[in-house]
Amino acid sequence: MSPSTSTPERHGHCLCGAVHLFASIERPTVAACHCTRCRRWGGGPSLGVETHQAPRIEGEQHVRVYDSSEWAERAFCDQCGSHLFYRLKDGTLYSLWAGLFDDSGDWPFELQIFMDEKPANYGFANRTREMTGAEVFAQYPPS
């Protein structure tokens, strides 16, 4: 458990182990982002778990941050290149890459965003809530 709450602290790490993330995520669920930037960055949709608190990071000297838009940043490990998180610059939302966490395979896949940017050459079989980019920006307006 994290020291400040009764929310379980989840542990994840990059491919090489240089960066470890500890995040308080009460009910972890996976969301896919199909936006052009996520697909260009990772070669496909991103699969993340959201939290509204900054994760605790060990190995922070290996974290590099890319200023990817006017409202958000993306972080990666400078040793192995693993994607770590996407965060809004105002600090209100972090999307941590689900694959960093050993237990993420047990988390339900519930949401897909930027469906209006998803290419036709792939699709998920899971039934999820789906949002367009406009719907995402209405929920999380850029600051």
pTM score, whole prediction: 0.89
Mean pLDDT of 73-94: 96
Lowest mean pLDDT among 89-93, 101-105, 111-115, 138-142: 138-142
Binned at pLDDT 50, 70 and 90, residue 2 comes out as: very low
- pLDDT per position as a tens digit, 112-138: 999 999 999 999 999 999 999 999 989
Half-sphere exposure of residue 111: CA atoms within 13 angstroms, side-chain side: 16
Which tokens hold the place of 86? 């996407």
Domains detected in the chain: 9-14+27-139 (3.90.1590.10)
Quote the pLDDT of residue 5: 52
Sheet holding 63-66, edge to edge: 63-66, 72-77, 83-88, 94-97, 46-51, 30-33, 109-113, 129-131
| CA distance between the termini of the chain | 32
Q: 59: burial class by Cβ within 10 Å (0-12, 13-18, 19+)?
A: middle
